Amino acid sequence: MYYLEVVILVVSFIGFLALGVPIAYSIGLSSLFTMLVSILPIPAFTTIAQRMANGLDSFALLAIPFFILAGQLMNRGGIASRLIEFAKVIVGRLPGGLAFVNILACMLFGAISGSAVAAASAIGGFMNPRMVKEGYDRSFAAAVNIASSTTGMIIPPSNILIVYSLAAGGVGVSIGALFLAGYIPGILVGLSLMVVAGFVSYKKRYPTAGKTGFVEALKILLDAIPSLFLLVVVIGGIVAGIFTATEASAVAVVYTLLLSMIYREIKAKDIPGILLDTVGTTSIVMILIATSIGMSWVMSYENIPQTVSEALLSLSDNKIVILIIINLILLFVGMFMDMTPAVLIFTPIFLPVVMRLGMDPVHFGIIMVLNLCVGICTPPVGSVLFVGCSVAKISIDKVIKPLLPLFVAMIVTLLIVSFVPELSLWLPRLFGF
Catalog residues that contact other proteins under the rule CB under 8 A.
16-25, 28-29, 32, 41-42, 44-50, 52-53, 56-59, 61-62, 65-66, 69, 243, 246-247, 250-251, 253-254, 272, 275-276, 278-280, 282-284, 286-290, 336, 338, 379-381, 383, 385-390, 393-396
Which of 12, 21, 15, 1 lies closest to 295 in space, CA to CA?
12
Give the residue with the Cβ less far from other proteins, 294 or 361. Answer: 294
Q: How far is the CB of 378 from other proteins (least distance, A)?
A: 13
Q: How far is the CB of 57 from other proteins (least distance, A)?
A: 4
Give the residue with the Cβ less far from other proteins, 43 or 207. Answer: 43
Give the residue with the Cβ less far from other proteins, 300 or 395. Answer: 395
Q: How far is the CB of 294 from other proteins (least distance, A)?
A: 8
Give the residue with the Cβ less far from other proteins, 361 or 388. Answer: 388
Q: How far is the CB of 55 from other proteins (least distance, A)?
A: 9
Q: How far is the CB of 167 from other proteins (least distance, A)?
A: 17
Give the residue with the Cβ less far from other proteins, 169 or 280. Answer: 280
CB burial string 409-424: b at 16+ within 10 A, e below: bbbebbeebbeebebb
Give the residue with the Cβ less far from other proteins, 142 or 224. Answer: 142
Q: How far is the CB of 346 from other proteins (least distance, A)?
A: 18
Give the residue with the Cβ less far from other proteins, 335 or 415. Answer: 335
Q: How far is the CB of 79 from other proteins (least distance, A)?
A: 18
Q: How far is the CB of 260 from other proteins (least distance, A)?
A: 15
Give the residue with the Cβ less far from other proteins, 7 or 254. Answer: 254
